[in-house]
Amino acid sequence: MRDGWARGLVDASPFNPARRYAEVIVQRRLHQRPFRDRVLLAYGSQCALCRLRHPRLLDAAHIKEDSDGGEPIVPNGMAMCAIHHRAFDAYVLGVRPDYVVDIRGDVLLEEDGPTLQHALQGLHGELIILPKRRVERPS
């Protein structure tokens, strides 16, 4: 009896590794997939910052978010790998109007492993890759 009771406590724990699922309702931006496809095409299916060419790891980052009135058009997007997109959204990196990468000052001073050194700090002051067609360049 005691073993059954103890097992019951383990099963009820929020740390139980048993798989659990919940159904959710989400809103999906229907324009997101075509926007991504157009942005990746404009950038030659590579990250504008590090040139990574694995489409499954690339996103179309919005320069001006939908919630701020940004339109789903190529000049409002940049092809970015997942790490650079997250850094861009978190204001760790930015791109100046002259297409030069800026890494936030405190991040430039950090000491960490090779990802920080090469994927972020090493891009500071570098030009991004631009679409060949001027009308598709970030604005």
* Residue 11 confidence (pLDDT): 56
- Does 1 reside within a domain? no
Residue 6 lies in a domain: no
Nearest to 88 by CA among 61, 50, 64, 115: 61
- 19 in a domain, yes or no? no
Vertex 54 angle, CA 28 and 68, to 5°: 35
Read off the pTM.
0.79
The answer to whether position 8 is within a domain reads no
Cβ proximity of 68 and 105 under 8 Å:
no
Q: Is the pLDDT of residue 126 over 90?
A: yes
Which has more pLDDT, 69 or 45? Answer: 45
Question: How far apart are alpha carbons 135 and 114 in whole angstroms?
Answer: 36
Has residue 79 got a pLDDT over 80? yes
Query: Where are the extended beta strands (E) located within the chain?
Result: 58-62, 77-81, 93-95, 101-103
Q: 7 in a domain, yes or no?
A: no
pLDDT in tens, 28-56: 776 788 999 999 999 999 999 999 999 99
Q: Which two tokens stand for residue 137?
A: 């360049």
Q: Report the percent of the chain where pLDDT is more than 70.
A: 88
Provide CB contacts within 8 A for 6, sequence distance 6+.
Answer: none
Q: Is residue 82 part of a domain?
A: yes
127 falls in which pLDDT band (50, 70, 90)?
A: very high
In percent, the amount of the chain with pLDDT more than 90 equals 71
Q: Say if 105 falls within a structural domain.
A: yes
Domain extent for 105: 32-136
Closest CA to 54 of 81, 22, 27: 81
Q: Total domain count for the chain?
A: 1
